Structure 1
Amino acid sequence: MRMEIRLKRVYDDPTPGDGFHALVDRLWPRGPSKERAALDLWAEEVARSTELRKTLHHDDLSWSDFEAAYRAELAGPTAGAVGALRAKHAPHLAVTLLHAVHDDTHNHAVILREALEA
């Protein structure tokens, strides 16, 4: 049976169907506690690098350029962390990647999910 990887903002209430909760942001989001988020793992090492995050927010980096740079990070320096995250969630039927980004379409968790599913 194939595992389902879901995405959810860390500010949203957890539900029983979420399964394994992994926060995939490098910075802890303001507001929610680990308990409120029902967090199983804070996988900060698979989040976009601080430099890439700042470039995206402050230098008006295009989405396609961000996507290419983050995919390169996932395949390069953080490849081991991606593999470790894949191994930790493997026993679960459902995994929810938690993030604090407002845009549900253009965020690093979307790219990370694709990398985990590959």
Structure 2
Amino acid sequence: MTLNKVHLVGRAGRDPDIKHFESGKMVCNFAIAVNRNSSNRDDPPDWFDLEIWDKTAEIAANYVKKGGLVGVTGSLKFDRWTDRNTGEERQKSVIRVDRLELLSSRRDNEASSFGGSNPDDDF
């Protein structure tokens, strides 16, 4: 048996980036910051890059804003490429999101959109 499942709750580090393809598919990318359960509040958050496809990507594009709290379920994958400048093989981990939960209230999103609060304070 194999298992590749990731569950995270964190705050969006930026507004989602959307790309549309000729095939009609769309992908949404953004990163979330996840605080560790630690007694030391000065520990920096862990950052996770997210990749979201199709209808869920559309929902993320319409409703996720920088600083918004989201929950995601997905699988861990690695993007691999060759660096154009050095020719070295590179890789980064990405969470391929299957399920997105919007955990911020509408009022929280409006406050962060209109500058009523500073979402970076929570990181």
TM interval, shorter chain, is under 0.3
Q: By percentage of residues, which structure has more helix?
A: 1
Flag the structure with larger Rg.
2
- The normalised TM-score by structure 2 is 0.23
Q: By percentage of residues, which structure has more strand?
A: 2
Whose relative contact order is higher, 1 or 2, with alpha carbons under 8 Å and at least 6 apart?
1
